[in-house]
Amino acid sequence: DKTVFLEKLYQFMNDNQSPISKNPILGFKEVDLHQFYVSTHKRGGYDQVTKKKLWKEIYMELGGSACNTSAATGTRKNYEK
């Protein structure tokens, strides 16, 4: 459930002194953090996505623009935050 996921995510980040003050932006669009997690998880998680260089694929699934040349890097950096 998206609501439960977001509640747990915000609590986790607060507990780790890294609160989310606003959702990240990719390609001038606010990122759906739940969809971001689901897209990454279904590809094996952070390590697998990084190893297989799938960040641009995730970016596109999140509604990103195909002409963004830094999509992979921006997507990975937002996930790391």
CB 50 within 8 A of CB 76: yes
User: Which domains can be identified in the chain, with CATH numbers?
Assistant: 23-80 (1.10.150.60)
The 10s digit of each residue's pLDDT in 21-64 is: 988 888 788 889 999 999 999 999 999 999 999 988 998 898 88
- In this prediction, residue 50 carries a pLDDT of 93
pLDDT of residue 69: 67
46 neighbors 39 (Cβ within 8 angstroms): no
Q: Does 11 score more than 80 pLDDT?
A: yes
CA–CA distance, 50 with 81 (Å, rounded to integer): 15
CA distance linking residue 32 with residue 10, whole number of Å? 13
